[in-house]
Structure 1
Amino acid sequence: MTSLGTIGTRERFAPLADIVHETAMVEKLITRAQIVQLQVLARAGALAEQQAAESSARVQAHDMALRAIAAELGGVLRLTDRTVQRRITQARTIVEDYAASLKAWEAGMITRGHVDVIVDAGADLPADVRLAFEAVAIQRCRRDTPNRVRAEIEILALQMHPRSFTERHQDAAAHRAVRLIPGLDGMSDVVATLPTVIAEGIHDRLTRQARAIIDTRSERSNEVVDTDGRTADQVRADVFADLLLAGTPALDDTRDTTAGPLGAIRAHVQVVVPALALAGTDVPCDLIGRTPIDAATARRLAGDTPSWERLVTDPITDTVLAVDTYRVPNPLRRHLRARDQHCRFPGCRLAAIRCEVDHTHDHALGGATEVGNLAHLCQRHHSMKQFTAWRVRQLKGGVLEWTSPLGRTYREDAPTPAVAFTPAERTWPAGDPAPF
């Protein structure tokens, strides 16, 4: 016999049951779509390898073929070719090296998060160990969520690796790097991948320097110190920036001394500053290739630091008013930097100061060195233009028309300044001179 209370409970939870059921169905559809996409991307990578094997080119044939295919797919997906190339590499790794994990994911035993944990942990395992590792890892992943099993799977990989930790650490240290990750509100993260002992030493020194600054505030008497209310984290970040921007490397191979020319190198970035920002208006400015920065920071850079290149745009016509720098560049290069701002391949945002000035129509084939035949391309896309079937022609106004190997065309207009204004209508009597 069913009670009224039980019936009421079922009715109350029926909508939630429907939502849970639909969520499970949607998850299955998403999983299937993701697996199919991985398989398609893996096929794209295999095709690039096949094309490279058939090529007689002397350049890095496989990389060029992969770049060209990634760019073709990027046009369809509306992603940069770099992003698509990374996805292709990841897809091949999962499809070709972790078939059992892919099958378990498809069967619903584990999730994509579990697959990523297994792939990341097993990245350094040799092929003859990977299969045994994968089998154990899949069973452990079935018991819990990806974040909870991650440490266990990483330890499993360490235990099963045939090489010692010291040997693997030496290999890992060869991949040390510094990366810049743009954030919000004019802030970014500088991420350095270093040996743990070095990273710990850097953090310790920054911490001790920050504490020394805070602890000795009362011993100094000046207006700046008296108003210094920075926290330990803020001081640590400021000292970190000061050391990197103005410090001298411990060893300078260019002079075999500790005070060689490397210590004189200063930071160089490219900032587009609308004229109104210099006049005091709070409008965003563009750090080319990265993210917007606030007007106050842009004004400080433009006015106080002579080593920064200044580019000012007219708020009415959008044309360049002035490019002022202590390093006087070639006037044509200055004009091209103002026009292009970044690499001119579709979707690429690498700043023009990091790019090469390319002759759209090859100079060796008669292309003129003039504004209408020059554009900034990063090294990656410059190489693609030279060594793959991607083609480009330049139209009037700095417009680039790219044609992919499949014949798809992509129009790349010269970027416009971030801020533009429309002139106000006439407000004085006809025939009277303008009041300015």
Structure 2
Amino acid sequence: MPPPSAPAVWVAPTSDGAGTPAGSSRTVEDAREAPALAAAGVEDCAEPPVLPAGYERLEKQPELMAAWHAEVSSRRAEAQRTVHLLDYRDRRVAEEEQSAPHTFRQQAVLKTVHHEAAVLLGMTDHDVRRVLSVAQTAREWLPQVWEQYCLGRLDFTRMRKLVAGAGDLIETNSGNSAAQKALTEALDTQFCSAATGENKNTLDQQVRDFVAEQDPAGHQRRYERAGSQRHVAITHHHNGMSTLRAYLPTLFLADLETRLHSTARRAPRRQGVAGGLKPQPALGPEAPQDPAQEQSTFSQRTADLLAQWLRIGAGSGRGDAQGAVAVRQESTINITVPLGTLTGDSEAPAISSDGRYTLPAGEARRLVNSPTARNSYYLTGLTTGPDGTEQVERIVKLGRRNPMRGLSGGAATPDSAEDSRWTLHADLVQQIRSRPNLLKTSSAARFVTGNLRAAVMLRDKQCQVHGCTEPASTAEIDHRTSHDTGGETSGENSWVLCHHHHEVKSHGLLPRLHTGSDPPGGSTDPPPSWATGTAD
């Protein structure tokens, strides 16, 4: 095994705290003409879909391939519609500039164009404006992505995710056209081909991380500015329920989410619904004896807890309602921080250990070095594969000791500061190599618990089925080779699966991605009772 590269430090603080795409020789001009060619009946067959490893068999399913060709035709038709709308808008604006070059008049013409297109197409003015805004940004700043869209390889939803990333780069580098051009070109080159093989959720995470890493200063500015936009909105529905939306700092809500989930798991499944949250059914011969008692789901218990806590916090005097569950005081949020960020050599962002959010470098350093937070520290050793992707090879636990404690914060000279950072780096690499690798531990028990569970969750982050982004914290740890057929409880034989895909795997329906006598998805054992609906 090659030696691990620079380690990343995982921290669990408490609440105290340009080129042409591969395989393509078409030009952007070709792409703009592609929708018209397809509409005119010129043969331009859809290319095979981009499939992840293990899913190649889908190309042999005639119904699915027919659906794929229909999808590509639909995308090209949509792209053709979008090009026509852009052309109409550009023509109307150009005509207006010649006759009455007044800014207010031109804005009125744009609104008129949006309204006219909306009336004709059965859309809203807002939807037309959004489509044209996304298309204009892609055409101007992401020409390779625009080409993929016009050729039917990329749908509008995923193009919009890329445009949102470009918009962040453009906005936070306003006045610096060179930086805007360089950053958007990098985004365009990175994702023009890769985006076709991702769904909108995984692509959204990849674009988010790319933008934060390429433009850390802009990421910091967006982070600081977003706080001023915090708000709460309540929408009342016609069925007696309402929706609460709160736009609040991630660190606060991530901590609250952990508290809710951990407390809801400990709450009894059958309990009274505190505070009258569940509307009671009308009395009648079929009414239950005690309608307030129900076999509640995890989601229902989480909702009940949040409502209870809101009432307690609001001082409504109803915090002692029957069935109320006390707030669990201790919770954790988990972030992975590059070593260079901790030492100040880099401004690369920290990423939550389940991949769901990022934090600017300064905020990550504050959390790691907070004197009031009860942090636990892990070191992660990474290796880079032939395809350039990083793989987690080792995870070791440092415990409560801050690995940055050996770094002098007040070095007298730049040379001594550099020496301190080099010494720290060497020390951490040595610890990664010498301390027990949690991923190599095993247990005689059936369930994955303790340090092994923490290591598997850190390694996998999310459900391991392609395209699934369910975080490890709400997913399940599954044996690749089932425990009943001799599979050991170890890091190598464990992976994170969400409940949905765990059930699919238990029926032997996941792709055969691994070799062995009992590969994931290839077990001949009958599925467990919970997967067939026969559990008590």
Query: What is the TM-score with the length of structure 2 in the denominator?
Result: 0.34
Q: Which has the larger radius of gyration?
A: 1
Query: What is the TM-score with the length of structure 1 in the denominator?
Result: 0.40
